[in-house]
């Protein structure tokens, strides 16, 4: 039994829920203390579990929920309908967050959450083509309105580009062997199903390697999903742009499930939490002082109890930061 006041609904367990709530609460409370309704942006709304808990915890909070998946917006909209007067849900990718806020007439986001990666419903719905455990069309689009699918990638990309994607995005040591096998198979007949691809990956990997580490197709499917949805290139744009929407006291929390996502997050936050005054100067330069401070020591990991109850949390890494000062114009008049 979950005795938490924010117990998740059956079938959906928000990752690191209590920790996310505690990290974002001071930003919400600071905005409320200034006499205005705080704005919380859930940039990857999904099933709406984190959003529901935030709305319950803060009665004056207003939610701006983004998701690129229309079905996620529909599901979360039903879940959150009792908060209808405090929510605005938008079909958008998270690098569009500044534009969405501008369109809604919101000058700031007081608290922002990114829960990156594929959502549980996307994995569970066989027809979406994300899972190697079901036979389905090779799709993997988070936004079904976009054109590029996983079938396009495996059937049209050159072998060298396929190998690069598998190696970089899937950290697959047998990337070249798998890419060569895909090229050979697609010349015989286009690859269009998840089962055929999963079987092909399995037979491309040495038998000794297949005995451990789970399904050998896992890394290939992850790499294709990241490529189809442009996840890393979008994330490289999204986090810096989002940080600029935070007022002093505003906070961002990021849940990432892949080492490359976490590396991008770490780099973006480090650049904004470091004093860059050149060595040897007698005093720090105001325009080189950090504008943010880290709220986590490195990347926080889930407790064993959480991973046991929620296997999806096993690979999560949490980082968070708070804005502590406005931009200071440099000598040339720019920040």
Count Cβ atoms below 10 Å from residue 302 Cβ, excluding itself: 21
Residue 138 is classified by DSSP as S
Q: Which tokens sit at 37?
A: 């309704």
Tell me what pLDDT residue 130 has: 65
Q: Does the annotation place 280 within a ligand binding site?
A: no
Closest by alpha carbon to 250, among 195, 301, 292? 292
Structure tokens at 221: 């499917």
Q: Does 85 show up as a binding residue in the annotation?
A: no
Determine what percent of the chain falls in helix, strand and coil, rounding each to the nearest 5: 50, 10, 40
- Asked if the domains at 17-115+231-323 and 126-229 fall in one CATH topology, the answer is no
How far apart (Å, rounded) are the C-alpha atoms in residues 269 and 6? 29
The answer to whether 48 is a known ligand-binding residue is yes
CB 242 within 8 A of CB 97: yes
Taking alpha carbons only, the member of 31, 214, 147 closest to residue 201 is: 214
* Token pair in block for residue 102: 């501008």
Residue ranges, the chain, pLDDT below 50? 1-11, 334
The domains of the chain are located at 17-115+231-323, 126-229
The answer to whether 67 is a known ligand-binding residue is: yes
What does DSSP assign to residue 300? B
pTM given for the model? 0.88
Work out the number of other CB atoms within 10 angstroms of the CB of residue 114. Answer: 24
134 labeled binding residue: no
For residues 100 and 91, give the distance between their C-alpha atoms in angstroms, rounded to a whole number: 10
At residue 125, the pLDDT reads 61
The pLDDT of residue 13: 76
104-117 pLDDT tens trace: 999 999 999 999 98
- CATH number of this structure's domain 126-229: 1.10.150.170
Residue with tokens 């037979």: 203
Q: State how far the Cα of 41 lies from the Cα of 39, in Å rounded to an integer.
A: 7
Q: Which fold has domain 17-115+231-323?
A: Rossmann fold (3.40.50)
């Amino acid at each position: 039994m979950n005795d938490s006041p924010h117990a998740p609904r059956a079938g959906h367990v928000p990752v690191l829920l209590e920790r996310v709530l505690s990290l974002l609460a001071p930003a919400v409370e600071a905005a409320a203390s200034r006499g205005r309704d705080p704005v919380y942006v859930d940039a990857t709304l999904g099933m709406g579990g984190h959003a529901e808990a935030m709305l319950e915890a803060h009665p004056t909070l207003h939610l701006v929920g983004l998701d690129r998946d229309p079905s996620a917006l529909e599901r979360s909209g039903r879940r959150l309908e009792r908060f209808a007067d405090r929510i605005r849900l938008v079909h958008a990718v998270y690098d569009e967050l500044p534009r969405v806020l501008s369109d809604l007439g919101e000058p700031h986001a007081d608290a922002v959450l990114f829960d990156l990666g594929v959502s549980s419903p996307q994995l569970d719905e066989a027809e979406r083509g994300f899972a190697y455990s079901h036979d389905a069309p090779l799709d993997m689009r988070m936004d079904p309105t976009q054109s590029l699918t996983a079938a396009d990638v495996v059937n049209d990309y050159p072998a060298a580009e396929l190998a690069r994607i598998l190696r970089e995005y899937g950290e697959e040591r047998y990337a070249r062997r798998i890419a060569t096998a895909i090229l050979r198979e697609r010349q015989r007949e286009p690859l269009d199903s998840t089962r055929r691809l999963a079987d092909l990956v399995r037979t491309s990997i040495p038998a000794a390697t297949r005995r451990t580490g789970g399904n050998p197709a896992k890394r290939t499917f992850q790499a294709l999903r990241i490529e189809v949805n442009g996840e890393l290139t979008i994330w490289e744009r999204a986090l810096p742009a989002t940080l600029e929407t935070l007022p002093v006291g505003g906070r961002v929390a990021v849940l990432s499930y892949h080492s490359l996502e976490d590396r991008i997050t770490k780099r973006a936050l480090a650049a904004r939490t470091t004093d860059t005054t050149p060595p040897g100067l007698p005093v720090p330069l105001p325009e080189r002082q950090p504008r943010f401070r880290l709220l986590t020591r490195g990347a926080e990991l889930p407790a064993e109890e959480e991973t046991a109850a929620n296997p999806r949390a096993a690979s999560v890494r949490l980082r968070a930061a708070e804005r502590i000062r406005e931009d200071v114009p440099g000598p040339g008049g720019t920040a």
